[in-house]
Amino acid sequence: MFTLFYGLSADPVHQGHIDLVTAAVTELDGRGHEVSLVLLVPVYRRNPVGEHPKYGLPETYEDRVQLAELAAGVMSKHLAGTGILNCAVTVSRAARELALRSGGPNYDLETLRYVRDRLEPGGELLFLMSAELVSGPNPEFARWHQPVEIARLATLAIAPRPGYPPNMDFLGGLTAEGGRFIYLNNVVTKDISSSQIRDRLMAGADPHALAGEGLIPASVADYIARHPGFYRPRPRRSTLRRPAEPGA
């Protein structure tokens, strides 16, 4: 049996996450990799890699865990609708536990080791990621903490993303050093951005309107609406010019 590890900021969880996990589990099942457990792992403290670092994650952690819990319920229903009945979807707080223990950032290698050590005997680990991370001449995944060891520890389950073809030379180098990967050719999801949704919410958008657009699940919209402080509207800047200071 396989455990599918999916790390995410959940800031907020959106329909793209739901579709990605559902499609990935379905394709893996069809290719003989029966996933019995999906672990959603919200990041607690961002590691220093990536072009768009996120700040303030610890302060919103409990809210983001609750959003991931809601998403897990939606994913379970979607998987059941596809005929996959023996796959549980749960949320892990491993990233928080490890970050508090070390006092440092979240490294996926450490979290994967934590999860692997708790698998049932004979269980195998899959690591779901977007092709964006292994695309381009200098893939972002190459800058992660010990990427080769990650690919040895867990088989990379790589989901396509339009405009981001995988760097096969890079992936070939990983396999030459003992890494493993599966390219999920048939996974197709909507191109939805958490940052764009977050910006709209912070600008005062009604979360139920975003749910109506198919961007976030209704349960996630309900949670955000009940917790207005989670995404506080940004104060509008005045268009009036301030008078010049004396001597300016």
Q: What is the pLDDT of residue 49?
A: 53
Work out the pLDDT band at 48, boundaries 50, 70, 90.
Answer: low
Read off the tokens for 224.
Answer: 């955000």
Structural domain range at position 42: 2-192
DSSP secondary structure letters along 170-236? HHHHHHHTT--EEE-TT-------HHHHHHHHHTT--HHHHHHTTSS-HHHHHHHHH-TTTTPPPPP
Q: What is the pLDDT of residue 194?
A: 92
Does 105 map to a domain? yes
Does 236 map to a domain? no
d(CA 56, CA 34): 36
Does 96 map to a domain? yes
Residues shown for the chain: 248
Read off the tokens for 23.
Answer: 């499609």
Phi/psi at 195 (5° precision): -65, -40
User: How many folded domains does the chain comprise?
Assistant: 1
* Report field, pTM of the whole predicted structure over 0.85: yes
Summary mean pLDDT of the chain: 89
124 strand-pairing partners: 2
Does 95 map to a domain? yes
Does 209 map to a domain? no
Does 79 map to a domain? yes
Does 201 map to a domain? no
d(CA 19, CA 150): 24
CATH of the domain at 82: 3.40.50.620
Q: What is the pLDDT of residue 47?
A: 63
Does 229 map to a domain? no
